[in-house]
Amino acid sequence: MEKSVYINGVSAYPNEKYTFDLIQKDETGKIVGGETFVVEAPILSYKPIDIVPVEVGVGEYELSADWQGTDYSARWTDRNGKDLGEGNKITVNPTAKNNEFSVTALSSQGEMVRESITLESKTGLKSVAPTLVDDFINVELHSPVNSKNAVLQVSSLTQGTILLNKALPLDTKKMQFDVTSLPNGIYLLSYSVDGQIIDNKKFNKR
Residue 12 has pLDDT above 70, yes or no: no
> What is the pLDDT, as a whole number, of residue 87?
92
- Nearest CA-CA partner of 160 in 190, 124, 193, 137: 190
> What is the pLDDT, as a whole number, of residue 142?
87
Neighbouring CB atoms inside 10 A of 58's CB total 12
> What is the pLDDT, as a whole number, of residue 41?
63
Question: Residues 169, 148: contact at Cβ < 8 Å?
Answer: no
Q: How far apart are CA 145 and CA 140, in angstroms?
A: 11
Higher model confidence: residue 167 or residue 95?
Answer: 167
CATH numeric code, 50-118: 2.60.40.10
Higher model confidence: residue 169 or residue 147?
Answer: 169
Considering all CA atoms of the chain, what is the largest pairwise distance in Å, rounded to the nearest integer? 78
Question: Mean pLDDT score of the chain, rounded to an integer?
Answer: 85
> What is the pLDDT, as a whole number, of residue 94?
87
Q: If you average pLDDT over residues 124-134, what whole number do you get? A: 91
Q: If you average pLDDT over residues 172-195, what whole number do you get? A: 93
Q: How far apart are CA 143 and CA 145, in angstroms?
A: 7
Residue 123 has pLDDT above 70, yes or no: yes
Domain ranges of the chain: 2-41, 50-118, 125-205
Task: For residue 3, give the 3-state DSSP assignment.
Answer: strand
CA distances from 105 to 33, 68, 163 (A): 36, 12, 46
Q: How far apart are CA 142 and CA 191, in angstroms?
A: 11
CATH number for 125-205: choose from 1.10.3720.10, 2.60.40.1930, 2.60.40.1120, 3.40.109.10. Answer: 2.60.40.1930
For 69-78, what is each residue's pLDDT tens digit? 889 999 999 9
Residue 27 has pLDDT above 90, yes or no: no
- ∠ CA 26-31-35, nearest 5°, is 110
Q: How far apart are CA 190 and CA 177, in angstroms?
A: 12
The least confident of 36-40, 131-135, 177-181, 194-198 is 36-40
Q: How far apart are CA 200 and CA 156, in angstroms?
A: 12
pTM > 0.75: yes or no:
no
